[in-house]
Amino acid sequence: MRALKAHIKNMLPQKLMYLYYLNSAKKASMYDLKRRVYDKVYNKSDVEKVKRDLALAYHIVEKGLTMPKPRPGFGKAVVMSLLDTVEKYAEFKLPKHDLEFTQSISVLKEYLHFHEQISFTLDNDLLTRLQTINKRFATVEGQKQIRTNKLDYFKHKNGSFDKFCQSRYSVRNYTNHEVPISVLHDCINLAQRSPSFCNRQPNRVHIVKSPEKKEAILNIQNGNRGFGHLAETLIVLSSVVSTTKDIHERFENHLNGGLFGMTLLNALHYNEIGACSLNWSVSDDKDMKLREIINIPHNEVVLMIIACGYLPDEFSIASSPRKSAEEITKLH
């Protein structure tokens, strides 16, 4: 039966084969696509959406506060929208101890405090709203951004697993000190210890050192403003789609890449290299542009980018607090 199938396959013109695979791929992908589209149109869970919007906005402000050189008055539009979402959350009468809420309030207070400390006068409309929040939620506390130094940041690099894990953060500040390729290879070899489906090892790594290429890539990535230009190295993670057998394995590239990416981040931390993941959730034209810049083979899918480099003596990191195990776990 298998031989007959292969024989028929060989006799079919390639174009017909392509259309056949495309059709079955569309059918399989629709199952997932419909869930996503349904969520965007029909999911009336305002609670989930308001929490998502809080996290999205407070994280941008959190990042702004920890930039190598925070710009006085930065991010007015996003702070205003965070204030709107906080008010919406309060209107819904949702729990005041939920992380998205407490951290949003904490970040807004920190934003106000930062500008008071540098004696920068914020626009009146913004200032009034921030002061109101400050008074109204005087007792609400979140996690402040962290000012640290190289020695302290890496002090658990040879420590116990729990201490090591808790000590890694995304760092968005780098020196121009060269990270040798051999050290990057050491890190990539460690990342290669990550499990992969049937040990098929689909991950690929493109190391970008050329200043022109780094700049061109960062110009089309939407999450590196204020720090990306400092990255001594960009690591573009990709995955070979030809390692998947059929369309039902379509998520394996991203899943395997996620496991690989986490080990790589840990390996960079272990080698005293600061790193920050950069999303590659982009439109197809940007993806095609990236392929032109660094000549990525057609059968590789790009997963994410890691900006990295050796660290300055002192720097700030975004606290990015986590929900507890109890909050995200369901026992069945």
Ligand X SMILES: Cc1cc2nc3c(=O)[nH]c(=O)nc-3n(C[C@H](O)[C@H](O)[C@H](O)COP(=O)(O)O)c2cc1C
Binding residues vs ligand X (CB under 6 A): 59, 63, 169-170, 172, 223-224, 276-279, 304, 320
- In 246-319, the DSSP E strands lie at 274-279, 300-309, 314-317
Nearer to ligand X (CB atom), residue 173 or residue 244? 173
Nearer to ligand X (CB atom), residue 102 or residue 126? 102
| In the complex, least distance from residue 92 CB atom to ligand X, rounded to whole angstroms | 25
* Integer Cα distance of 50 and 91 in angstroms: 11
Closest residue to ligand X, judged by C-beta, is 223
* Torsion 52-55-58-63 (CA) sign: negative
Is residue 305 within 8 Å of residue 214, measured between CB atoms?
Answer: no
Nearer to ligand X (CB atom), residue 68 or residue 90? 68
Angle at 104 (CA atoms; ends 170, 71), nearest 5 degrees: 60
User: What is the number of residues in the chain?
Assistant: 332
Taking residue 13's Cβ as centre, other Cβ atoms within 10 Å add up to: 8
| In the complex, least distance from residue 279 CB atom to ligand X, rounded to whole angstroms | 4
Is residue 309 within 8 Å of residue 177, measured between CB atoms?
Answer: yes
| In the complex, least distance from residue 22 CB atom to ligand X, rounded to whole angstroms | 28
| In the complex, least distance from residue 265 CB atom to ligand X, rounded to whole angstroms | 8
Q: Which of 268, 292, 127 is nearest to 213 (CA)?
A: 292
Nearer to ligand X (CB atom), residue 56 or residue 240? 56
Nearer to ligand X (CB atom), residue 67 or residue 90? 67
| In the complex, least distance from residue 62 CB atom to ligand X, rounded to whole angstroms | 8
